[in-house]
């Protein structure tokens, strides 16, 4: 098991889900954390996304943006050109391009950009909708809850 338990006392909820004793909360479904976005390059460039996205959204030369959150979630994509503009902006601000790290975090940077634009257009609801739409923990939780099956058996 990936999680070590100091106390093996088990309690079961009415739905059959197990809760372990011992003074802490342990998930009944383990989803490993993604550690691929831990480089200094990712952390530095990610900090530049809010002001970059704000300037981008104020520029009226981009394509028309979807008018509803649902349309935005399903049809709007961050282009490679927009990501490249962010990378160039970061380099201009003293964060030199790191090709290997950029390759590792490319999809995550696009997700962060999309979420920030969604926040500017639709508020916090937009931000969290973008993140939740691409979150393996949310996907797994919904799958487990929708299955109707108890996670643990007595």
pLDDT tens, residue by residue, 19-66: 666 655 666 677 777 777 788 999 999 999 999 999 998 886 677 889
Q: Which stretch of 1-5, 79-83, 136-140 has the lowest confidence by average pLDDT?
A: 1-5
pLDDT tens, residue by residue, 61-91: 677 889 999 999 999 999 999 999 999 999 9
DSSP readout, the chain? --S--S---EEE-TTS-EEE-SSS---SS------SS--HHHHHHHTTHHHHHHHHHH-TTSPPPPSSHHHHHHH----HHHHHHHHHHHHHTT----HHHHHHHHHHHHHHHHHHHHHHHH-HHHHHHHHHHT-HHHHHHHHHHHH---SS--
């Amino acid at each position: 098991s990936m999680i070590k338990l100091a106390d093996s006392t088990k309690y079961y909820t009415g739905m059959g889900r197990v809760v372990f004793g011992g003074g802490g909360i342990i998930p009944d479904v383990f989803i490993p954390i993604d550690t691929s976005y831990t480089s200094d390059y990712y952390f530095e460039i990610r900090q530049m996304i809010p002001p970059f996205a704000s300037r981008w959204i104020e520029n009226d030369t981009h394509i028309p943006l979807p008018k509803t959150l649902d349309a935005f979630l399903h049809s709007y994509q961050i282009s490679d050109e927009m990501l490249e503009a962010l990378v160039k902006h970061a380099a201009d601000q003293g964060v030199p391009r790191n090709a290997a790290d950029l390759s590792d975090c490319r999809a995550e940077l696009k997700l962060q950009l999309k979420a920030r634009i969604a926040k500017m257009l639709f508020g916090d609801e937009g931000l969290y909708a973008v993140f939740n739409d691409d979150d393996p923990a949310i996907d797994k939780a919904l799958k487990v809850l929708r299955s109707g099956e108890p996670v643990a058996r007595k």
